[in-house]
Amino acid sequence: MKFIFRKKRSWYILLAIVVTVAIVVLWRERFVMEKVSPTVTFVKEHMTNPNGSLATYLQEAASERADIVAGREALSESLGLWMQYALASDNEDMFEQAYKQLQTYYVIRPDIYIAWKLDPQGKSHVATNALGDDLRIMGALLQAADRWNQGRADKLATASALSRTLTQRTEQQGYLVDFYDFKSGHSTDTLSLVYVDLLALEAMRDHQMLEPEVYSRYEDILHKMPDDGLFYPKSMNVNTKAYTYDDKVNLIDQLIVANHVMEMGHKPDKLIAFLKKEFGTRGKLPGQYDRKTQKPAVDYESASVYGLSILLAVRSGDPNWAKQLYQHMITLRGRDTRYPGGYVFDGNTHLFDNLFPLLGETYLYNFLKK
């Protein structure tokens, strides 16, 4: 009897241990994925200028060249990413505040284009746009107009006016190009593939701001673009239709293009397999690779790489990989105890290294919640 009792007791103890471990594991995952990201508080408290614009860098620095961002200058890129986060988190008030920023500071009249950069006080000293940022913002405006009634007509009118400017002023050979200088009338003949934002272009098509055949033209760019066996090209010349590659591949660019490809319904299998192998072998994803050797060209990690990789994993239906990426990504967060929630290194950070991770974890949370 004593033997049977001890055996039963051992079995109950083992069962209790297994149940406890299971509860802890489940609670940890639940806690991590439902917790409001501290990165939002970091952005609001440390990366926001007095006028409400989003600063590009944490630390102040003087701007030495108009074509390079510095210090607390604000970018249309940041505004577009913040709008996307407001949509992903279903925060209408946050989106309205961002829209007010757009109308107050970024939209330059009477030409009706979005200045790609502002000084910390909200003044524009540039006369150029940035196509990728324009499309991101316009896509966000159209998505917000479709979701919320507040200010719907105004958002549609703004998106329509911006769309007309792009098609009338920045189009070459039937393609929008990277930028147009509204002061000199000069534009480039290059279309960077990271700017081929299919979700935004699709929304423009659906709202009759882009002809269906024009939208198909951009689909063809991504569908027919070559690769070197693994990595995507950097850009396409709209005159010659020739694609160009960088010798050193920026993984952020590759991931943005890969996400665009996923938006088209095509899974970028080769790049995903490569990233999984690299992450599994190295335990991290370095920020740049040598195109020919496919070996890391740098030692540093970028939080944006993980945010964009999580987006890709979620969109490709791979939550396990997304969770692994997320768990590693948040080890880079809050290392500087003065700035909890921020991806701060050596006392500084770039805003997109906080916004892309924020988008990635929000998409993952929404995916797991379903």
What are the DSSP E strand ranges found in 193-278? 235-237, 243-244, 248-250
Per-residue confidence in pLDDT tens, the chain, 370 aa: 555 545 566 666 666 565 554 544 444 445 345 557 999 999 999 999 999 999 999 999 998 888 999 999 999 999 999 999 999 999 999 999 999 999 999 999 999 999 999 999 999 999 999 999 999 999 999 999 999 999 999 999 999 999 999 999 999 999 999 999 999 999 999 999 999 999 999 999 999 999 999 999 999 999 999 999 999 999 999 999 999 999 999 999 999 999 999 998 999 999 999 999 999 999 999 999 999 999 999 999 999 999 999 999 999 999 999 999 999 999 999 999 999 999 999 999 999 999 999 999 999 999 999 8
* Three-state DSSP state, 171: strand
Grouping H, G, I as helix, E, B as strand and the rest as coil, residue 301 is strand
- For residue 36, the model assigns a pLDDT of 78
What was the pLDDT predicted at 370? 82
Cis peptide before 268 (omega within 30 of 0): no
Q: What is the pLDDT of residue 150?
A: 94
Q: Residue 154: in which H helix or E strand, if any?
A: helix 152-169
Strands (E), 155-265: 171-172, 175-176, 190-192, 235-237, 243-244, 248-250
3-state helix, strand, coil in the chain (%, to 5): 55, 10, 35
- Give 158's contacts (C-beta < 8 A, 6+ positions apart): 102, 103, 107, 141
User: What phi, psi does 187 have (nearest 5°)?
Assistant: -145, 165
pLDDT for the residue numbered 14:
64
DSSP secondary structure string for all residues of 339-350: STTS--BTTB-B
Task: Name the residue with tokens 């594991």.
Answer: 25
Compute φ and ψ for 183, nearest 5 degrees.
Answer: -90, -45
pTM over the 0.85 mark: yes
Question: Given this model, what pLDDT does residue 8 score?
Answer: 60
What is the pLDDT, as a whole number, of residue 50? 98
Gyration radius of the chain over CA positions = 23
The residue count of the chain comes to 370
* The pLDDT value given to residue 35: 57
